[in-house]
Chains A and B, each alone.
Chain A
Amino acid sequence: MCECIENKIKLEVQEIMKPYKQEKDNLIPILNEIQEKYGYIPKTAQIEVSKYLNIPMAEIYGVITFYARFTLEPKGKYNISVCLGTACFVKGSQAILDRLKERLKLEEGKTSADGKFSIDTTRCVGACGIAPVFTVNDEVYGHATVKKLDEVLNQLEKESIN
């Protein structure tokens, strides 16, 4: 990462932290905001948080890796997430996840080398009425089938080339 981007992140993170008191219990709310903004938690941001809250980097790393929402790697342009809640599982979401991994040749939680796709799993997005579901960024696709997933992927691949 070049220095100018690092500086930019540094300043932005300082801005995010401003409303928070320098107390330890604000660590998770701050990390949540950083994750929301960047789609992951950059190392530069971790260093800033560590300085501001006076918490060792190791502890911050421990917290980040503990919670499923926090990631150390940026998400793809299209983050495809398959719901593995029980209601979706019972209706066959595992087959959808397997197919997704096979098509994109990616593992869960990973981003493709070109930064276009990433695969995630979630536990219940709350749309059990239209199970099984998968989401592409914030768009929810209900009553999913392997065929429907293929169609969506074809469409996204076309879009990403253009």
Chain B
Amino acid sequence: MKTIEELNKIRIEKRIELDLRKNTNADTREKHILVCNGTGCTSSKSPQILENFNKLIKEKELKNVRVIKTGCFGLCAKGPIVIIRPEDTFYAMVKPEDCKEIIESHIIEGKVVKRLLCKDIDGKIVDKLDDLTFYKKQKRIALKNCGVINPEDIDEYIAFDGYRALSRVLMEMSQDEVIDTIDKSGLRGRGGAGFPTGRKWRSTKEAKGDKKYVVCNADEGDPGAFMDRSILEGDPHSVLEAMEIAGFAVGAEKGYIYVRAEYPIAVHRLQIAINQAREYGILGRNIFGTNFKFDIEIRLGAGAFVCGEETALLESIEGRRGQPRVKPPYPAEFGLWGCPTLINNVETYANIAQIILKGSEWYSSIGTKNSKGTKVFALGGNVNNVGLVEVPMGTTLREIVFDIGGGIPNGREFKAAQTGGPSGGCIPKEHLDTPIDYESLKEIGSMMGSGGLIVMDDTKCMVCLAKFYLQFTVSESCGKCTPCRIGTKRMLEILEKLCNGEGTEYDIYRLEKLAVNIKKASICGLGQSAPNPVISTLKYFREEFRQHAIEKECKAMECKALAKIEIDEEKCKACGLCQKNCPVNAIEGEGREKRHINQDKCIKCTTCIKSCPFGAIG
């Protein structure tokens, strides 16, 4: 059991030891080799890199060198990432076999391994992480420890002010003071809808009931979004600390983290964090010698998107099918097992300790009038710097896609960006300068959502995209209410007709009508927002729908029934590259003959278009 004095002692001692993590001028002979072990880098063999470094250090009997496993650095496109501190050297796309060179050249001889340095968007080679354009416009609050600390070591979290907010809350603040601070900070729910967090806390505190619960919604179901997972993998204690603060504020003694079973690394690190916190007496009874007690349990989700909806999530924790309840009553009054329950999203929690420590004024000074603080986005799709970014609210989409994201690869044009996943909408070129906050995104027909941000170039078909999202909602609809269960299926059928070249103009009209009705009549957020991808693509790309319906043409050539790939004989130089790359041998012609495509064999995979050096195929 640790007292506050012991906690302070760990903080001061450990902070000196870890000074080199944040201070490039740190006065030390130590070197820390930080290896990203987030899911992205793990998929490209970063655990092997970690092992190789450790082996080499042992072999060469190097002193003062430590290898540290960290969470996500954010720039997943350049993974696996290795950073050497204190000098802050950033090595990108490191392979397990590169470890030897890094140790021998960088660590022993002090020479930077130039070939592993990262190229910035302008082609310049950058050797320090902070010099990358990717990081320049970012502001890290929720991700402040990701890529800095070892998430499996509670002492490292404590070194960077961890559990200090909790001790301040327990020692110096009343329940109402905590809630007031959160309220005044202007923090809003980061799960998607943006409900003011302070208000949620207050209504849970004021609800009548002997037993109350605090729940963390870590069921990140939006395909292509990985913000919450990265926080859990990189800084799990920040969520535990915030849940305890919330427990104190609303009067709860028990917390649940509902996390997807598909996130094995996050679950593993959370469990380690919980065990360590229990060992230190930071979770359990008489925390810091006070009367406050709180414990946290992990509950694994089993793969259902609808469980991200708060009442469906509660049903799932109780052991049933995750079908949403009719609201009201809201969970603040009638939640887990009928008790008042506070549910917040991972990223919301990740902001709490910072707000308590730095004050509500500091937090509310960041962002726009109605949306305060920062937002984490998982930037993906047709963009150069795929990864995790945290920006102040009010940053424009253009800044995120072109400055931080480094623009569109292969010299293509930006067509649209999609936020909010299956519940959100598409944002076209003309709205690139919209500042991102809850209200302005809603105004242009999209939504903040949990933070997935997918960029699409001009080779993407918007009807296909709408179909993709509807396929998702149809398979994830829980089936409880008719408009969502049957309505979305009918919408999908119409979209399939359009993509197969069997649609008519009347279908577009029917699609719109259905969309409006499903939005009005569904009982939960999933159904009410399911038509959004269709409504927004129809709003900005109606011409494309019309082309599919009337001219039977898909200009992006994604809809196979409507696409016909041909080789322009005048441009063809008979190099045979297309033939070599075609997976189904659909391209005919030999030697110096002009090539042509056998349409019966062609599967329209467009590989040939990409492989032709003369742009003769289209």
Contact = CB atoms under 8 A, between A and B. Distances in A.
A90 B224 CA distance: 10
Given A86-B224, A89-B468, A90-B460, A140 B43 contact: yes
B386 A87 contact: yes
B380 interface: yes
B275 to A, nearest CB: 16
A73 interface: no
Interface size class of B (residues with CB under 8 A): 35 or more
Contact of A128 (B40, B460, B465): B40
Interface stretch (A4-12, A110-118, A145-153): A145-153
A144 to B, nearest CB: 12
B421 A131 contact: no
Interface stretch (B288-296, B316-324, B485-493): B316-324
A127 B381 CA distance: 12
Contacts of A128: 40, 76, 224, 226, 378, 380, 386
Contact of A28 (B76, B305, B316, B382): B316
Given A28-B300, A69-B262, A129-B40, A99 B320 contact: no
Interface string B274-305: 00000000000000000000000001111111
A47 interface: no
B225 interface: yes
B583 A67 contact: no
Given A90-B460, A127-B43, A62 B321 contact: yes
Nearest to A96: B605
27 contacts: A25-B318, A27-B319, A28-B300, A66-B304, A66-B321, A69-B303, A86-B224, A86-B454, A89-B223, A90-B380, A90-B455, A91-B381, A98-B603, A123-B221, A123-B472, A124-B223, A124-B226, A126-B263, A127-B43, A127-B44, A127-B76, A128-B76, A128-B386, A129-B79, A131-B381, A147-B581, A150-B583
Given A90-B382, A123-B223, A129 B421 contact: no
Interface in A80-114: 84-91, 94-95, 98-99
B261 interface: yes
Contact of A133 (B43, B303, B319, B322): B43
Given A23-B319, A124-B222, 19 more contacts: A26-B319, A27-B319, A29-B299, A63-B321, A67-B303, A68-B302, A68-B304, A69-B302, A87-B386, A87-B454, A124-B226, A126-B226, A130-B76, A131-B380, A140-B44, A145-B607, A146-B605, A146-B607, A147-B583
Contacts of A90: 380-382, 454-456, 460, 465
Interface centre among A31, A98, A126, A145 (most CB of B within 10 A): A126
A158 interface: no
Nearest to A85: B223
Contacts of B382: 90-91
Contact of A31 (B225, B299, B302, B452): B302
Nearest to B580: A147
Interface residues of A, number: 48
B245 interface: no
B478 interface: yes
A24 B319 contact: yes
A67 B302 contact: yes
B77 interface: yes
A32 B229 CA distance: 19
Interface string B376-419: 00101110001100000000000000000000000000000010
B536 interface: no
A145 B607 CA distance: 9
A130 B44 contact: yes
Contacts of B320: 59, 63
Contacts of A147: 581, 583, 607
Given A69-B261, A122-B262, A147-B583, A86 B221 contact: no
A39 interface: no
Nearest to A55: B319
A131 B378 CA distance: 13
A140 B229 CA distance: 18
A125 interface: yes
A27 B322 CA distance: 13
A76 interface: no
Interface centre among B77, B226, B456 (most CB of A within 10 A): B226
B39 interface: yes
A25 B79 CA distance: 40
Contact of A67 (B77, B304, B452): B304
Given A27-B319, A66-B321, A88 B224 contact: yes
A98 to B, nearest CB: 7
B43 A130 contact: yes
Interface string A39-82: 00000000000000001000100110011111000000000000
Contacts of B465: 90
Contacts of A29: 299-300
A146 B581 CA distance: 10
A109 to B, nearest CB: 11
A68 B316 CA distance: 13
A11 B317 CA distance: 26
